[in-house]
Amino acid sequence: MISTVDFITPPVDDPYWFGQIGAANAISDIYAMGGRPLTALNIVMFPTKQLDLGLLRDILRGGHDKVVEAGASVAGGHSVDDEEPKFGLCVNGVVHPRQVITNTGAQAGDSLILTKPLGTGVLFNALRDGKLSFLDLERDVLPQVAALNGPAMAAARTFDLHACTDITGFGLAGHILEMIRGSQIKVVLDFSALPLYPGAFDMYKKGVTTGSNTANWQRAQAFLDIRITFDKAAEEILYDPQTSGGLLLALPASQAEAAIRALVAAGVPAAVKVGEVVAGTPGIMLT
């Protein structure tokens, strides 16, 4: 049995999307370990004196629908009256003890495959600042953000998967840092291969950022070896905190092309090789 607890503040004002994204975000940790979700408990903080309870109903409906899509059941939950809405889940799942996937098993000779684009942090902040329209995100971004990572993990498990982490609040660099420390390896990251959500780079160029970027940079900067020239706006993508981000998969380079084809066939269109694992002192070389 494995368990995870995660919750988020509203990435968008639409309550149903909020519920779906919050649930997908919480369930992702189960998938990242190779598990199968079984039950979920709602975790809700809601300002009952300021907002209509109909909004809460729609948040819970979005979360419920995503849990059902994952093949699990909502078994109850807990609510607190709070000044700002927050929603997430405590998710319980199962995985065979000898089949647990961790972020510490990457090996020299592996390729790294990322399954979702980057940029949700800056895009959601740009939406709050009025620099993006909800319609832009609803069409091009939200369906992938709310997508479950289950199909990606199911496809990846048919290969010799050595390590996995989901990309969330620490950003891509922060979660690669966890992988290199745990596996005692070095990662060569191809910056030009990184998939980005539409508008993410433009928002950084316009000066939009997040409250987590600086902390994420501070955590990772000592391990970065940047071998390319780019402006600050481009570099920020490495530290962008993801909400319901994709999986970063480490598997033998000889299997990478077949794995990407399998991921795309499983409904993971953004899957792409973004780097490779080499022997050496733990670090991230950006090329």
Mean pLDDT of 68-74: 98
Listed range (109-123, 126-140, 150-164) with the worst mean pLDDT: 126-140
Where does 2-99 sit in CATH, by number? Answer: 3.30.1330.10
The whole-number pLDDT of residue 3 equals: 81
DSSP 123: H
Same topology, domains 2-99 and 110-286? Answer is no
CATH 3.90.650.10 fits 110-286, yes or no: yes
State how far the Cα of 229 lies from the Cα of 175, in Å rounded to an integer. Answer: 23
Contact 127, 12 (CB under 8 A): yes
State how far the Cα of 139 lies from the Cα of 144, in Å rounded to an integer. Answer: 10
Q: What are phi and psi of 84, to 5 degrees?
A: -135, 140
- Rama region for 81: left / alpha / beta (φ>0; ψ in -120 to 50; rest): beta
pLDDT tens for each residue of 4-50: 888 788 898 999 999 999 999 999 999 999 999 999 999 999 999 89
State how far the Cα of 244 lies from the Cα of 115, in Å rounded to an integer. Answer: 11
Element holding 60 (H helix, E strand) = helix 53-69
pLDDT tens for each residue of 187-219: 999 999 999 999 999 999 999 999 999 999 999
The whole-number pLDDT of residue 230 equals: 86
Single-letter amino acid code for the residue at 183: S
pTM, full prediction: 0.95
Cβ atoms < 10 Å from Cβ of 214: 12
Closest CA to 113 of 172, 183, 70: 172
Domain coordinates in residue numbering, the chain? 2-99, 110-286
